[in-house]
Structure 1
Amino acid sequence: MSPQTRISARVGSIAESATLAVDARAKALRAEGRPVIGFGAGEPDFPTPDYIVQAAVEACSVPANHRYSPAGGMPDLKAAIVAKTRRDSGYAVEPANVLVTNGGKQAVYNTFAALLDPGDEVILPTPYWTTYPEAIRLAGGTPVDVFAGADQAYLVTVEQLEAARTEHTKALLFCSPSNPTGAVYPPEQVAAIGRWALEHGIWVITDEIYEHLLYDGAQAPSMPVLVPELANTCVVLNGVAKTYAMTGWRVGWMIGPKDVVKAATNLQSHATSNVANVSQRAAIAALEGSLDAVEEMKLAFDRRRRLMVEMLSAIEGVHCPVPQGAFYAYPSVEGVLGRTIRGSTPQTSAELAALILDEVEVAVVPGEAFGPSGYLRLSYALGDDDLREGVGRIQALLGEAR
C-alpha cells in the first residue's frame, strides 16, 4: 500500500488551517526563547469575563452537567440563543431552528454537510476565511471564488456574483464583518445580495461571528432581517468565541430552517454528541449577561486598529484599507513584491511572510491562505506594546526594500 492510498482522497486533499499553523509556529519559536511576535491567531487576548467563568465553576459541581445532554444543545442555551438573536439582530426564530455546535467550525461544516451534494457549487467571496473552502470540499461541494481586492475594499458586487452563478450553484457563503479583511458590507449591499440570492433560489450561509465588533458607525444587519423571504433558504452561523473572548470554550451555533437543523443535528449526534455541558452553561451566562465587557474590549480593538493601519500605511508599497469590523487588517503588499530585501527578492506574499518571520521574528499570515497572493493578514487582537513593536519591525524591514 503506497503512502498516497493510506489516507482517503477526501481527507488527504484537505490542507491544515494556515492561521493555526502560523500561530503554532510562533508559539514554538517563543518556547525556544526567541522574541517572536505573532499576528496570526484570530482570538482576543483578553480573558473570558469573570461572570462567565464563575458560571462555569458553579456548573462543574452540578451532577446533571456530568451526564450526556441533548445532541442539539441544552434547552436553556437554545432559549438564550433565540432571545439573543432577537435582541441583537431583530431576527425572530424558535428553539427548533437552533443547533448548538462545538465551536463555529462545526457549525460551518454541519451546514455544508446538510445542504450539499457532489457537484453542488458554493460561491465564495474572496478573500475568505481559510476553513470555508475546505469545509465545502469535505461536504462534497465545489467552492467558486469571487475575488474583490483592496481597490473594492474587499466587497464583492451583485454583478460579480451573477457572473459566477451557474446551473450548479447551490449556495452563497456571506461573512460580514469579514475574516480575513475586516470589511463590512453596507446595509443596502447586504439587501441587494439577499434579493439576488432569493431571485435565483440560492441558499445563503451567513457567518455573523463578528457581529459586535464594528467601528466608525458601521452596521452589519442580518441578511434574513433585511430580506425576510430569505429565511427558508438561509442559515445563520454564530458563536461566543470572538464577542466574549471564549475561543477555547468551543460553543457555536447554526440557525436555519427546521428540516436543515434536524438533519445537521442527526449528523452531530453521530459525530460528537453534545457540546460540553460546562461550556454550554458558560455560554448561557455570556448571552444573558451584560455586554459591558464586550464594549471595553471593542474600545481596545478600535485603538489598536487605528494604530496598526497608520503604521502599515506608512510603509512604501503597502496599501491598507481601513477595516470597519472584526480585529484584522489585510494590507496589500503587491508594491513590495519583486523588490530585494536583505538579499532576498520575494515574489509572493507567502515568501514575504517567511522572510518577515526569519529576519525580524514577526509571524503574519500570507494572502495565499485566504485566496490570491499579494496580501498579508495581521490580527490586532494582541497587546498594544506587542503591536507597536511587531509592526515597527515590519516597517524597518520593508523599509530596506530596493
Structure 2
Amino acid sequence: MSIRLPSADGGYRLHRPNTDPCALLRCGPPRSRRFYAAAHVVADPRAAPGAPGPGVDWGATLAFRHRLWAQGLGVAEAMDTAQRGMGLDWPTAAELIRRSAAEARGVGGRIVCGAGTDQLAPDRAHSLAAITAAYEEQLAHVEACGAGAVLMASRALAAAAHGPEDYLEVYGGLLRQSARPVVLHWLGPMFDPALAGYWGHHGLEEATEVFLKIIADRPEKVDGIKVSLLDAEREVDIRRRLPAGVRCYTGDDYHYPELIAGDGELASDALLGVFDPIAPIAARAALALDRDDAAGFRELLDPTVPLARHLFAPPTRFYKTGVVLLAWLAGYQKRFTMVGGLESARPLAHLATAYELADGLGLFPDPERAEDRMRGLLALHGVAS
C-alpha cells in the first residue's frame, strides 16, 4: 500500500508508509548532557469566540509535556516553539508556565521557561525602563512558579536600543536581581526578523563581544546560553570563550548532532525545537552518549537532520507548523490546528514532505493512523492520494 504525495514542482510521488515505528522510550534524564525540548502548544478550535486569549487545549498540551519527561527530556516552556510572539499572548503564556511548572514538580521533570517583554504593545516605542519592568514581571513569575528562566530576546528592546550600552544596562540589571542562574537566549533574525541587530550590532563579530561581556560581568548568574543562529562555527567560537561552568545550549536545528557530540574538548547541551517531534530518537541518542558511544549517538541522530532542515527551511519562523503537523499525525492531538490559524503557514507540498521524512524515521507510533490522517489532509485540499 502506498500514498500519493504532492511535490513542490507540481508533480506527485508515491510513498510506502513505514511499518516499524520507533517505540516510546521511558527513562530518566541523561547524565552526559542536558536535553531540553522546546514544546509546542495544542490549540483548541472550540474556544468561545471573543474569549480572552487564544484557545489552548490544556489537557493535550500538558500530556505532551509528560510524554517528553517520561523519555528523560526536559521541557523548555513558553518559548518560540509555543508561538510566543506568534499568537500566544503573555497572559496565556503565564498560565502555561504556571501549569507546566506544577506538572514538572509532580514528576520531577526538568523545566525552564521563557521570560520576555511580549506584554508590551507592539505598535509603539517603549523606554528602557518599561522594557526592564516587563522583563522583571515575567522573570518574577517564572521564578515564583519554581522554574528556571530563559531570558528571551526582546523585540521591544531591539527597537528601542541605541547601541550595545543599552543591552548591557538592561541585561546587567536583570542578572543582578535574578534569584537563580538564568539562560540567555540569542535568537537570530532568521527566526524573527524583528530581532535583526540584536546586542547593538548587525555584524556577528561585534554582537558576540557584547553578548560575551554580559556573561563575563556576572557568570555566576548565568546557567547557560542558547544560541539560535544556525551558524555552527559561531556557536563553537562562543562555546570555547564561555566562563567555566556556563553551559552552551545549542539552538541550531541544522547542526545539532555535531555540536552536541562536541570536538573532544567541549560539547554543547541542547535546547531545541526539533526535539519536540524527534523526542523518541533524541532520548535514545542521549543514552548512547551516557554510554560513551559517540558513534551510536551519531548513527541515531544524524538521520534526523534532513527532517530538521526541512521543518526549519526559510521562512524559518514557520517551523512550528510542521512540528504541530507531526504531533497530530502521531496521534498526540486530535486536530491539526494552531493558535492564530498558523496551520496554513506552510504549503501542502511542504507538509507532505514533512510527513514522508518523519515516517521514514519511524516517528509515528501508529503508522496507519498517520497515513489515514495524511490522506484526509490531502483530500481536504482536493488531492487524491
Q: With structure 2 as the length reference, what TM-score do the two structures score?
A: 0.34
Q: With structure 1 as the length reference, what TM-score do the two structures score?
A: 0.33
